[in-house]
Copies of this chain bind each other. A is one copy, B any other.
Amino acid sequence: VLELRIEPLDADAMRDARAELEQKTKPRGSLGRLEVLAVQLAGIGVSGPRCAIVVAAADHGYTDEGVSAYPAEVTRQMLQVFASGGAAISVLSRLVDAELVVVDAGVREELDDPRVRSVRIGPGTANATHGPAMSRRQALDALEAGISLARELADRVDIVALGDMGIGNTTSAGALHAALLGVPAAAVCGAGTGLDPDGVRRKAKVIDRALAANGGRLDDPVDVLAALGGFEIAFLAGVALGAAAERLAVVLDGFIVTAAALVAARLEPTAVSYLVAGHLSPEPGHRLGLGSLGLRPLLDLELRLGEGTGAALALPLLRASLALLAEMATFDQAGVTDAGR
């Protein structure tokens, strides 16, 4: 359905990177996961440290069911804070010197701010407990808008980090995890931004109702996305796919972004090799989602904010792995005795 061609990673480049790392002045493998990361980035073809953080926001019909501690208008308010520079992700994007791209993928009320990129698919999704959250056409439009942004970013960055904002979107992400992984709603539901245990149980029941209401439409991944997803999740799945097609590394954030990655992986399994898991969310479903993608998170700092904060904090680790491969001296260059030969 999508015009997309994702190449496998470059096996020769990965072999060369492994061989080069063997020659660096350090015991073999002693840089641990940074070596694995350097090899993956070599396979992707990442040649520089330039990063963009794409934060997409949208509203969710699920909020009609009382699934969040926060009112829906906070989505739009936070979009404004992202743009004006006072949000956590605004601070972190400046700190790590990454371009912050703030996207309105469909908040209820449009925001008139030139710093927010508008790719509005609609004024928030419909309530998925009564039927699909969006139409199949809307899901495809959101995916294509994400692919299009990735193609644009490919001209100026090497790495794309993904982030989300959307009151109610742990419910959408939970529904997508449950449907795509075939696990019960209760296994993927957590406190989100601050629910109590009763609230978590209520959220799981909302997911069960959404799954039941859409039961006949859960075969094709685009249909699953349309039935249960959010506009920001669909858009971010598109960014992941487009970035992989452009041979950019894609850094995942928490539970919501991983739901987008699950959708992308169902559409194009090759895309998974371009993904890096930035951070482990405390949401119980996140471990299941990452596990199904075969990804291990780089960080576990108990962040549960979203916005791409966990992905942003992982960017220095990607840059470190690139710099170590590029800049470390070899045993021969440095005149150091290599016990491992």
Interface residues of A, Cβ cutoff 8 Å to B: 24-28, 30-34, 69-71, 73-74, 77-78, 80-81, 84, 86-88, 90-92, 94-96, 193-194, 282, 298-305, 309, 313, 316-317, 319-320, 323-324, 327-329, 333-337, 339-340
Give the contacting residue for A334; candidates B30, B31, B77, B324; CB below 8 A.
B77
Identical chains bound together, number: 2
Is A84 a contact of B334 with CB atoms below 8 Å?
Answer: yes
7 cross-chain pairs, A with B, having the tightest CB-CB distances, nearest first: A86-B329, A32-B302, A27-B193, A30-B305, A316-B316, A77-B336, A33-B301
Q: 6 other contacts beyond A78-B336, A88-B328, A313-B320, with CB at 8 A cut-off? A: A26-B305, A31-B88, A31-B309, A32-B282, A74-B339, A81-B334
Within the complex, the shortest CB–CB distance from A264 to chain B, in Å, comes to: 26
Chain B residue numbers with a CB within 8 Å of A80 are: 334-335
Is A81 a contact of B305 with CB atoms below 8 Å?
Answer: no
Instruction: Give CA–CA (A304, B31) in the complex, Å.
Output: 7
Q: Smallest CB-CB separation from A25: which chain B residue?
A: B81
Is B305 a contact of A27 with CB atoms below 8 Å?
Answer: yes
Among A78, A88, A193, residue most surrounded by chain B Cβ atoms (within 10 Å): A88
Is A301 a contact of B317 with CB atoms below 8 Å?
Answer: yes
Chain B residue numbers with a CB within 8 Å of A25 are: 78, 81, 86-88
